[in-house]
């Protein structure tokens, strides 16, 4: 069922404005015809279409990636702390004092690396520890970092870099 538009009565409003006009930002000089309401609807439709065609904010923003030296620093720290790869507040503050990187970017980088390149495990006592994956060691080798400990054999088998380098020597 179609309901007819309700006319706005000036005598009900206080000082010539109504709540509808306050929201729309116009004064209370509306006529009772349907033309003014239909033109408002088309303006809203045009605004929605303009918003849909406008590129999103994140598309216009330049991507701030972490530099190679920062990655070397972060991966070298992770090599020393593979069992529990969570930097303390002091370590985080020390890194952020030197580098032009935001705290949010720092936290997200470490969270992404833990998620993508480490696997979570629990020891018999229920304590959480992490094991680096083949992808982590590949990243360290690619950055030229010396790995101070033996890479586990199951992880070593999954490494593509070692397989490529051994196949090239043939």
Angle, CA of 99, 134 and 72, to the nearest 5°: 15
Name the more confident of 77 and 149.
77
pLDDT, position 154: 81
Q: Which of 47, 45, 40 is nearest to 23 (CA)?
A: 40
Distance CA 1, CA 129 (A): 64
At 3 the three-state DSSP class reads coil
User: b/e for 66-80, b at 16 or more Cβ within 10 A?
Assistant: eeeebbebbbeebbe
User: Is residue 148 very low, low, confident or very high in pLDDT (cuts 50, 70, 90)?
Assistant: confident
Lowest mean pLDDT, pick from 24-38, 73-87, 111-125: 24-38
Q: pLDDT tens for residues 45-83?
A: 666 666 666 666 656 666 678 888 899 999 999 999 988
Burial class (CB in 10 A: 0-12, 13-18, 19+), 117: buried
Q: Residue 132 forms beta bridges with which residues?
A: 118
Report percent pLDDT > 70 for the chain. 56
């Amino acid at each position: 069922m179609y309901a007819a538009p309700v006319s706005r009565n000036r005598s009900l409003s206080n000082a010539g404005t109504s709540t509808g006009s306050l929201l729309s930002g116009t004064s209370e000089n509306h006529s009772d015809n349907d033309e003014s309401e239909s033109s408002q609807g088309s303006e809203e439709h045009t605004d929605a279409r303009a918003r849909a065609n406008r590129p999103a904010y994140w598309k216009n923003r330049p991507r701030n990636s972490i530099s190679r030296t920062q990655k070397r620093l972060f991966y070298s720290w992770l090599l020393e702390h593979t069992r529990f790869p969570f930097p303390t507040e002091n370590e985080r503050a020390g890194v952020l004092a030197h580098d032009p990187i935001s705290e949010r970017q720092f936290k997200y980088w470490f969270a992404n690396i833990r998620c993508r390149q480490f696997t979570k495990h629990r020891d018999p006592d229920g304590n959480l520890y992490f094991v680096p994956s083949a992808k982590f060691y590949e990243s360290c080798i690619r950055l030229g970092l010396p790995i101070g400990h033996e890479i586990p054999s199951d992880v070593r088998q999954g490494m593509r870099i070692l397989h490529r380098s051994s196949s090239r020597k043939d």
